[in-house]
Structure 1
């Protein structure tokens, strides 16, 4: 069954959506979009380090994404102004990663595949890594759902309930780092944040509960992946950008339907 590259690509897109749906909902609620960009851009540096030290690329991207997540979470807990800090870190990590790749001897790396993804080249091993990471993130979201939701809605209420808001923020940032490592092969570093934000934003226009929004975001992500693959095969367009383009169309339709729905 998994010998067909298109079947593997479809399963990869659906697997990624399992993680980006609920996690993307928290990204939207907490306005963490820029953090998603910073972590995904840092993944390119992980690619360079993995190639330089002859390690699996997934190991390099996960390691650097986790490091970025820990640094950002620590700075946020200390009250740093995160918009400027994230901007500096995101673009610096991307620049250093692109420069570092150029110094790796004997490696001809197709940067476009890392920047925009190459879902049609997903292997069985990649598929196992994607689904393993997605299930891990989904399980973490289910386990910490109520605590994360409380800390997101009202930090004072979270403290009164005995919850540590900094710990819940760290849980989110670590989960986001895992998603970045998982998604790099599918949509690439430059489009990861889009797959976190757009399906969740589309779901918010239609959902009435937080749980409903997370579930709808999974569905929108899966539909975007399958629709983007169909568009790529029919029109010979890049698969990663096609997935995000379909997600954007679904978002526009969801917003229009949301406005027509009775209050």
Structure 2
């Protein structure tokens, strides 16, 4: 059942005014417009298309442009202290240290789109375990209305301030896109060679304008989800679906090869987060 009060959560990049005008004139025929990804795949199988084509992971029309978080100034510093007063008590029981990222990402809560800050956690995640981490991520996004994502810092030696106050000014340049493309290829290839890619519905890397050392570098988020219909999704589970040794090796490789500050793993479900960050 479709809500009658749903907010516009996102638009399609190719549904532009000229197309809308042609649709109103009856010049565009769209017999498949109401099909979701899972239904498109069912039809592809019925048509006899190869499995590698039918089950290929989705890729956004705008490409890596929406996986590069661009900004010229840190966000949310005026509300950061108040937000951390809610965040910190929720984290104290698990020996994790929260760090608020000065950027925004897209999410969805109820019938509305959200544009809120992500949180990074440092801690002994392997000891804590997935169930406790997943429960914490849910509590944080439910109780802290300025958050819509929770991530894990994969470097076990990382120590971050509670509030990160600086960013690396980032725009969509050929060099920035080339960096993300190389990072994304490395992540995908590593998981594929480890035999961990088949169970992931969608795997992506997101470039962040974050360098806690203020050296002009970037950070990256690894986002993997499992879903049947893409209307809702759960994050790929670290320790189970992505073993900790694999993640820590990947973290070390990415930071060394691409001179990154942080490598993060997004552990947020959809909702409240979306699959993509932008």
TM-score norm. by structure 2 comes to: 0.25
TM-score norm. by structure 1 comes to: 0.26
Which structure shows the higher helix fraction?
1
Which structure shows the higher strand fraction?
2
Question: Which entry has the higher C-alpha Rg, 1 or 2?
Answer: 2
* Structure of higher RCO (CA pairs closer than 8 Å, 6+ residues apart): 1
